Amino acid sequence: MIIRVAKNISDIIRIFNIILNSGGFTISNNIKVLRNIAGNFKILHLFSWAAVGAYNPFIVVYLMNNNISTSRIGVILMFNSIATLVGQPLWGMISDKIRSIKKVYLLCHSLATALIVLLPFVTNQYIIFILLPLIQFFYCSMSPLLDSWTIHSIKNSGKSYGSFRLWGSLGFSILVVINGKLITISFFNIIFLVYAIISMINLIMCAALFEYKRDDENVQAKPLTLKELNIGRLLRNFHYTAFVILSSITFMTMTSVYSFLATLIKQVGGDDNLYGIANAVSAFSEVPILLISSMLVRKFKPQYLILTGMFVYSIRLFLYSIASGPEIAIFSQSLNGLSYGMFLAGSIYYIDSLAPAELKATAQTVATAIYAGLSGIIGNVVAGNMISRFGILQVYRSGSIIQFCVFILFLISLYLSKRITSTDKTVEAGIN
């Protein structure tokens, strides 16, 4: 393990040398070297999630620095969620239609980066209301597209998704700590400079990667029409629909954590630096779970990992509700590996197992759009208003109870899905 980590770190150093010291190399030689290195998706995950860590956790802090109230922040985040709800399935369908995740990922990342670097120059609140959802429209699809791209690139290689995604958690945690510290010792807008640098490196890495060969490529190599995509077939799947609906409620309750953790940290005596540390602890806690995710999926099945994640989510929300200092909030963040890490490892494989070959990317982006987008639309507005009226601790207390109910409902849905599957097999046997 240590040898593999050292090799990946040495690869990263080589990338920086290629980018910063291009003299003596031709462009074609540079790309060839990058392709050899970037053939390992670990580095792409590292820089992709480093870019996320440099920007995403600080959106609320950015809005607070622009003197925007909690209720208005909730409204802005609601529009971000609407953009996610529209953008994620749209970009997923486009990637399946043109049969290229790489091209869509590059386009979305490039446009999102171009818009994000404008934020330091914007002070008008109405422009911020427009710009942030527009950024989110392109930004939202990057994670599910990268997940789908990785899974199908490493299929039949004997490697697990978790061993790649854990590098994303490392990249995220490193950058969120760096930016949290930079804000306290420098000025806030420096985070956008850091984001721009990381994003440029990530775009170069992505451009160097080869497109994977799809499972169904030999059957149907031409681009698919919308009719051929047949999204209704996906939505009529009981297992898929039940998972998406209940996951939406889970993310609705967790909206208060993702969107208003900075508010909680400051309320209990913390600052931006502690907020960065809390996010880093959260991301680092995912690493051991993702490292053994392949073994967990084989031994316990994806749906049981999802169940574990849902249960631990309810515990986390209860701990936030009794926080009297930043220490309890940070401890609750350390449970992110057992909640989100388990949920992520299980959901990626679970969704992929339910989706037909021609809808693999669409299945990931539609699911993420609904439970991250639709839940955000409701969750951000409700949480923002409840915090203004009842206080943030009451929001976490209510969320903990709701989340425990979701855990029970998903358990019941798994039992019902077994009954439905058993009935279908009996009917098919009778027909044959």
DSSP string of 46-60? HHHHHHHHHHGGGHH
Which pLDDT belongs to residue 169?
83
Cα separation, 202 vs 404, whole angstroms: 38
pLDDT at 211: 63
Own/partner pairs for 130-138, CB < 8 Å, 24+ apart? 132/59, 132/76, 132/79, 132/80, 133/76, 133/79, 133/80, 133/82, 133/83, 134/83, 136/80, 136/83, 136/84, 136/87, 137/83, 137/84, 137/86, 137/87, 138/87, 138/107, 138/108, 138/109, 138/111, 138/112
Residue 336 in this model has a pLDDT that exceeds 50: yes
Q: What is the pLDDT of residues 252-296, one digit of tens each?
A: 888 767 778 888 888 888 887 788 888 888 888 888 887 787 788
**How does residue 239 score in pLDDT terms, banded at 50, 70 and 90?**
confident
Q: Residue 62, exposed/middle/buried by CB under 10 A (0-12, 13-18, 19+)?
A: buried
Exposed/middle/buried for 297, CB within 10 Å: 0-12, 13-18, 19+?
buried
CB 370 within 8 A of CB 78: no
State the Cα–Cα distance between residues 5 and 74, nearest whole angstrom.
Answer: 40
**190 by DSSP, 3-state: which?**
helix
Phi, psi of 267 (to 5 degrees): -65, -35
Task: Answer yes or no: pTM beyond 0.95.
Answer: no
User: In whole angstroms, what is the distance from residue 396 CA to residue 20 CA?
Assistant: 47
Q: What is the mean pLDDT of the chain?
A: 78
- Sorting pLDDT into bands at 50, 70 and 90, what band is 152? confident
